[in-house]
Structure 1
Amino acid sequence: MLWKESNMKCKKTGLLLLFMSCSLHAESLIGKNPTPDKDDKQQVTNKSRSPNSANNNVQNDDIEDVITVTARSDSQDELKKINSVIAGRSTLSSRLIEQKQADNVAELLNTLPGVSSAGSVRPGGQTLNIWGFGKVEDVKIIVDGAQKGFQKYQQGSVFVEPELLKQLEVNKGPHDVKFGNGGFGGVVKMETKDAIDLLDPDQYVGALMKYSFHSNNHQNMVTSAVYGRTQDDMFDGLVYYTNRNSGNFKRPDGSRFVFSEDDMDTYMAKLNFRPSEEHTFTVSGIRSKRDSWQPWAAKYVEKMTPPTADQIKKYGYKAAWLRKLVKRDQTDESAQFKWNYQPTYNPFINFTLHTTYSKTKQHDTRPSKYNPVSSLGTMGNESWVSYTDKTVELENISIFSTGPIDNALKIGAQVHLHDRDTLMYYKGYEKKPNYNNGYFQPAYMPSGKQQNYSFYIQDELSIDTFVLTPSLRYDYVRNHGKQNYASAYNDPDPRFGHDYSPVNYSGWTPRFGAYWQTTQNIGFFSDISYAWQAPTIDETYEVQFTPKNGGSGKISATSRNLEKERNLSIRAGNILDFSNILLENDKLQIRNTLFRQQVKNEIFITRGFNGSICGPGNSCPLGQSNYHNVPGKLVIHGFELEAFYDSRYWFASATYSIQKGERDSTPQATWMHNKTYVATIAPRTATLTTGFKIPEWNVRAGWNAQFVRKQDRTGLEDRNHDGIKDLGAYGLGRSSGYSIHNLFATWQPTFLPKAEVKLAVDNLFNKDYRLYLGENTYGLARNFKASFSYRF
């Protein structure tokens, strides 16, 4: 019924869009598109080309900032630059990133339909959710080609400084051949700034100074950069630094998120070298560091219980608070080396070698002088974790024709090595040899490695007004566990299943995409992918202690017999692209997307249900695995609508997103066949933006609002009418609907053209609201933002 209801709504929306497209098409003025420059399949542009752009004196790029524009049917070269993946992705440009003045990347992405932030507002406490998929492995984070794979328990996963970014792309669903073994929700690709993005056309050396202030948490941010290029463009490079320093965030009720201060330094250096037109070399590196007191679980801890009067009397006020916290030292770094070779007169070679390195590490300490509160579940008195990702990619793109078909054949090979080291010290076990005298890996966060070796091939076939994109990818994944230092988690008795030996997964991912430019103003796209995902190190090697160490031994084993998850993903949509509708040189785009994702062999933790592990009346043998595959299927489907309008003096946009998700069974009780809702589905959301521009004064200002429906399908229902909540502890609390209103403005003074002032107000009416995917954590109170930058 849910699918039928969604289909009915989508049919009505489709009829409305068809009517709009016909009426708008009748009013649009059709013109010739200028001949594009050299066709580059590797760096496909997503800039709009208006039919009259050759005569345009006004740059309208609001639409270009957020949506890929269809090609013109009268330009075959332009059509070659579009495929279904490009047509379905969303892009945030540097201007929109800077306009938002976000504290973190999740806050930026939360404005896009189908993308939601999860977790808390604390520094480092955010993860991303795309189309209902919220696990770290379900959303790939890529920064300048480097994959970020931080999966620490109860922590965030995105630590990139927004100030460094010039572009942010979101590809929803597992439809990009370049990414395998995961990414069911999608891929978030971030690209950092280059020197040429900051230099004027006739400038060779420059510098940037910027200061920003946020009122909510009294945040001060200072940015400085120096950059330059040679006259022949052989070299360009930059050095970038930013410091973000703030106090505690404030809730709408006036209270504070205690210990949510931030103090982060970020450094970036980048160099591009072009010895000739055929070769381009890029070397870059980013390093950020923050050091602060905070709750151990940055993702969900919100209101901390204050110390009692007796505790304050015993330890003192400061110590009474600090004994509940950890002193966290976090470092996040990444680097890349990239070489592109594209011979001028050889269309068969466009070769790229790309190597990347990424590492995130945290060192948490509970100083003994504060008599800290520590436990096994919060990684003891001291802990060290590091997640390292190394990648190597070789790729070549060949452009050729076979009769009436133009081909862009992409062939690539990848190696991705993921290494995670974990260690904790628990003072309570310092005299227990079976726990290595207190030094061991947390059972719920084992150390290990995952090696991924991949090969892919894709051909983009341009036939008249069609672009067909068949592709095939092969992944071989090998998980290596690392034996725990504690014998309690490394028992040789086979009955308890402490087996850390390697396990292998392999398989093919077929994909097919189609793009059809039906008219100069209307394009359709569709994708179908049959992707898969191997279990993570956590899912494979998590254990529990055995009976001789105080446990039951019932759920103690590693999970080496898991099947890989499979996802049959389908999406389809269209883009309407018009110019000169109401005003001269204005632009309108509308994109609507239907999607459906069907997952089999979903991996879920084993903890029993209603006092039973294997079903009522069934006796379970010892050594059950900590994770299992859920029978049946999980289905998430939804609809998105995006509309963008821009003209010389006025702009507007609107988005709408609806998602629904359901399983065939109860994931923690495999013997039951009751349908359950998927708890990680974001509420129905709509956004509206409108504003004005005064080109003569270089002023741009507007209003934005986000409308979020309540979420009452949370997994805590009792659809079996047995008095037990469907998902138990794995459901989320219901949330209420709310609306948030924001203002923004940008001004570049004509008398000081190198300067720029940005102003914004978030949560203008100080609305008290809760974030559903943040487990009902509070949102932020009203926040005035201001920044001033000057380029030398």
Structure 2
Amino acid sequence: MSHSAPTRRRLRALALGVALGLGGVPFTGATAQTTPPGSEQQQYDIPPGPLNTVLTRFAERSGTFIAGDLRLTADKHSDGLRGRFSREEALDRILAGSGLMAERQDDGSYTLKAASTSTRLAPVTVTAPTHQRGRPRTLDYDRATIEAQRPQDIKDLFKKEASVAVGGPIAMNQKVYVRGVEETAMVVTVDGARQNNKVFHHNATNLIDPSLLKAARASAGVAAADAGPGALGGSLAYETVDAADLLAPDDNAGAFLDGRYASNGDTRSVAGAAFGRAGGFEGLGYIKHTDGNDYEDGNGDTARFTAPGLISGLVKVAYEDAGAGRFELSHEVVNDDAARPYRANFAGLDGGRPVPDSRVYDLTRRNTVFNYQRDTGQGYWNPAVTLAHNETELDTREVPLSAPDTQVVYTGITESVSATLKNVAHTRFANITFGLDHYDDSAIFREAGSADLEEAARNTGVFVQFRQDLWERLELSYGARYDDQTFTGTDDSHHDDEGVSSNVFGEFHVNDHLSLNAGYTDVWAGTALAENYILNGAWDYANLEPVRAHNRTVGLHVHRGGFFAEANRFRTAIANARVPSYSGDPAAVADFDIDGYDLAVGYMGRLGEVSVKYANIDSEKDGDPATSYDGNYFTAPLGELITVSGVFAMPRWPLELGASAEIALDNDDVESSGAKQQGYTVVDIYAEYRPVPPLTLRLSVDNLNDEDYVDRASYGQEFLDVSPLLEPGRSIALQARYDF
């Protein structure tokens, strides 16, 4: 990659200084004399590139002195840095997977050297390690980004992204759409564990507590072969925190308590964690509970059966040795148990069969994962193993109108047992990831007095993915996978099929400020399981067809002096998507076409950031506009969405101020279904203050303008006979966290 004259001068200066044996020769910019303390966080937007280039840009932005032997960075790559970090956090992420470390000196400078066996391995699961370069990313949140937002649910987590929509006002009915593709049409993993959670279309697919997360990454449309099988619309990966994410570099034990009160619905959340490490071992325990009352919408009306009832927990133990690698075992549980509208994703239906106003939804997701990883950033042997068990169970309990003295209980259980074995070979030609994966998925529906109904699918796949840099300007990622699947229907019939998927993605750095990218995938995903609550023992599976998808994306990214701009054009075409119904054909299929583009402009500086993002997404089913009903499990009508966000830090206080807005424009694409989707504008603001280092106080106002609206991705607003769930009206919240 070519460098500007000032950059070349700085690199020559460092090389000369090292050659002369001088210590503390700076990678630094003009702001070095006003460098804040190393623990102060700063916003960065540094694109991927050669490691020495990324380090140079980091030093210029932060005013950091870095000394070391330039030969250590030769032929090494960094995935860059985007987000808000302290210097130590930033350097950890820049050097992740490189086999290098930055050691802080007494004078505040850093010395670059090879990581010793006594130091913690680079946190390759926090941000993309070296071998993951060239992977297309629609979004990439790390722990610092997530913690800065302090999200209460998945909608909060993604609210700055115009291209990511989350329908549903409460955690148990929220569904995520990335560039118009519903998460069930993507490969979704938590700590590498495959999620098979399509239980009931009225509730959330993946019940996630974002407080547990240290990373969230999405590759919409174009996903690599090692992302997993069935990536029709791309991949979405979540990773939970471990002890090292919560401990300061020099601490070996810690804890925190976190409490929050929100005025709308008198919502109370309490969370706590304890964590520590010693002799290579580490452990963490975390628990959170949220309860309260029904909230009021922007009209001042009570939204019945929306009171929170969430409890979540995480236990994680690990052992890490620089030579042997990292061994990690975790168990996560998230549960929501409360009375909900009878059909939990909307308030009511005019007409149809008479039903009670509500029923209890007891929804639990459990995730148990063993991970082993050894990635030195070099050599041919860098293995990783994931063994996982994922289960989502939904119990619905209702009192029938025709028999008020009885209770009917239905149970749906989805389960996935999965394993992935892979290795990364770092060669001069490319970094090559290859391996095999397997899943055994099942969907069971259970009713007292009746035999269980079950569909199941077993899949074994092999894959290879190449990631290489050419001419210091072109980054390529390309690969393929072969999958063999056996599907079993409710009638115990077996259906065998096999297919090949391929992908390619490239990014060309025109210069230090402009890059162009393009990607394509052809995906074979076999036969997807039907949702549990529509399984029928009388189904005839004679005409099953495997589903395929084709994804295309092109884009550009510009950045200079803290300013950035981005534009992307994308399309996902899914053919033979399975759309069964209880009384219909279990092999019924439809074709979905999701097409759109997104834009972003903004600025990231020392004291904050501001961005404006826009997405325009059209979705069709069999050539007609897709509605929130017939697009179920694949897409939703989204139209035009705009997000505006900004953060401003005042270190002397220390105080941080932030604001965000979501603007949805009217969407008449689905007006033929009865009504157009109404536009809205909703504004959130917050102020965060640290009176003393261990204590963080946050005052926030959600829906400041008390907007009366239905989220664009929520169900039913285009239908005249559906009463959709309105979002909460204005809510004032106070949150306090104390770190021990």
**Bin of the TM-score, shorter chain as denominator length:** 0.7 to 0.9
Matches within 5 A, 1:372-771: 372=404, 381-401=408-428, 406-425=429-448, 438-440=449-451, 446-465=453-472, 466-483=474-491, 500-538=492-530, 557-578=539-560, 581=561, 587-605=562-580, 625-630=585-590, 634-662=592-620, 665=623, 680-714=636-670, 717=672, 733-749=675-691, 752-771=692-711
Q: 1:236 maps to which residue?
A: 282
Checking the alignment, whether the CA contact within 8 Å between 2:489 and 2:541 is kept in structure 1 is no
Answer with 101-110 or 246-255: which moved more: 101-110
SS of residue in 2 equivalent to 1:567: strand
Aligned mates of 2:576, 2:13 — CA distance in 1: 50
* TM score, norm. by length of structure 1: 0.73
SS of residue in 1 equivalent to 2:599: strand
Q: 1:364 maps to which residue?
A: 396
Q: 1:196 to 1:520 in 2, by over 3 A?
A: same
TM-superposed CA distance for 1:640, in Å, is 1.2
Q: 2:86 maps to which residue?
A: none
TM-superposed CA distance for 1:697, in Å, is 1.9
Q: 1:365 to 1:770 in 2, by over 3 A?
A: closer
Q: 1:261 to 1:26 in 2, by over 3 A?
A: farther
Q: 2:712 maps to which residue?
A: 772
Checking the alignment, whether the CA contact within 8 Å between 2:136 and 2:219 is kept in structure 1 is no
Equivalent residues, number: 635
TM-superposed CA distance for 1:557, in Å, is 4.3
Deviation track 1:461-500 (CA, whole Å, cap 9, x = no partner) reads: 22212222220111112111234xxxxxxxxxxxxxxxx4
Aligned mates of 1:790, 1:69 — CA distance in 2: 34
Checking the alignment, whether the CA contact within 8 Å between 1:106 and 1:158 is kept in structure 2 is no
Q: 1:35 to 1:529 in 2, by over 3 A?
A: farther
Checking the alignment, whether the CA contact within 8 Å between 2:655 and 2:690 is kept in structure 1 is yes
Q: 1:143 to 1:527 in 2, by over 3 A?
A: same
Q: 1:538 to 1:635 in 2, by over 3 A?
A: closer
TM-superposed CA distance for 1:689, in Å, is 1.7
Checking the alignment, whether the CA contact within 8 Å between 1:351 and 1:396 is kept in structure 2 is yes
Checking the alignment, whether the CA contact within 8 Å between 2:230 and 2:524 is kept in structure 1 is yes
Q: 1:88 to 1:224 in 2, by over 3 A?
A: closer
Q: 2:235 maps to which residue?
A: 187
SS of residue in 2 equivalent to 1:137: helix
Aligned mates of 1:288, 1:73 — CA distance in 2: 39
**Consecutive unaligned residues in structure 2, runs of 5 or more:** 16-26, 54-74, 80-129, 627-633, 718-723
Amino acid at match of 1:166: K
Q: 1:131 maps to which residue?
A: 179
Matches within 5 A, 1:119-158: 120-134=168-182, 137-153=184-200, 154-158=202-206
Deviation track 1:241-300 (CA, whole Å, cap 9, x = no partner) reads: 11111211211111112111122222211112014433211111112333322234222x
SS of residue in 1 equivalent to 2:303: coil
Q: 2:385 maps to which residue?
A: 353
Q: Does 1:258 align with 2:304?
A: yes
Aligned mates of 1:372, 1:68 — CA distance in 2: 63
SS of residue in 2 equivalent to 1:413: strand
SS of residue in 2 equivalent to 1:537: coil
SS of residue in 1 equivalent to 2:707: coil
* TM score, norm. by length of structure 2: 0.78
Percent identity of the aligned residues?
18
Aligned mates of 1:34, 1:146 — CA distance in 2: 47
**Consecutive unaligned residues in structure 1, runs of 5 or more:** 1-24, 37-48, 306-310, 312-320, 375-379, 426-437, 484-499, 546-555, 582-586, 608-622, 669-677, 718-730
SS of residue in 2 equivalent to 1:254: coil
Q: 1:33 to 1:424 in 2, by over 3 A?
A: farther
TM-superposed CA distance for 1:225, in Å, is 0.9
Q: 1:274 to 1:72 in 2, by over 3 A?
A: closer
Aligned mates of 1:470, 1:348 — CA distance in 2: 19
Q: 2:267 maps to which residue?
A: 219
SS of residue in 1 equivalent to 2:639: coil
Amino acid at match of 2:574: V
Answer with 235-244 or 769-778: which moved more: 769-778
Aligned mates of 2:610, 2:430 — CA distance in 1: 38
Q: 2:160 maps to which residue?
A: 111
Aligned mates of 1:86, 1:173 — CA distance in 2: 12
Q: 1:3 maps to which residue?
A: none
Q: 1:726 maps to which residue?
A: none
Amino acid at match of 2:417: K
Q: 1:666 to 1:738 in 2, by over 3 A?
A: closer
TM-superposed CA distance for 1:208, in Å, is 0.6
Q: 2:250 aligns with which of 202, 207, 218?
A: 202
Aligned mates of 1:328, 1:516 — CA distance in 2: 49
Aligned mates of 1:68, 1:141 — CA distance in 2: 27
Answer with 348-357 or 689-698: which moved more: 689-698
SS of residue in 1 equivalent to 2:616: strand
Cα RMSD of the aligned pairs, angstroms, is 3.6
SS of residue in 2 equivalent to 1:220: strand
Aligned mates of 1:79, 1:95 — CA distance in 2: 18
Aligned mates of 2:545, 2:32 — CA distance in 1: 56
Judging by fraction of residues, say which structure has more strand: 2
Q: 2:142 maps to which residue?
A: 93
Matches within 5 A, 1:167-182: 167-182=215-230
Aligned mates of 2:584, 2:680 — CA distance in 1: 44
SS of residue in 2 equivalent to 1:764: coil
Deviation track 1:308-344 (CA, whole Å, cap 9, x = no partner) reads: xxx9xxxxxxxxx9x6433333322111111123469
Deviation track 1:583-603 (CA, whole Å, cap 9, x = no partner) reads: xxxx23322211122333344
Q: 2:374 maps to which residue?
A: 341
Amino acid at match of 1:502: H
Amino acid at match of 2:585: S
SS of residue in 2 equivalent to 1:513: strand
Aligned mates of 1:362, 1:529 — CA distance in 2: 34
Aligned mates of 2:468, 2:326 — CA distance in 1: 27
Checking the alignment, whether the CA contact within 8 Å between 1:659 and 1:684 is kept in structure 2 is yes
Amino acid at match of 2:257: M
TM-superposed CA distance for 1:354, in Å, is 0.9
Aligned mates of 1:765, 1:482 — CA distance in 2: 50
SS of residue in 1 equivalent to 2:676: coil
Q: Does 1:781 align with 2:733?
A: no
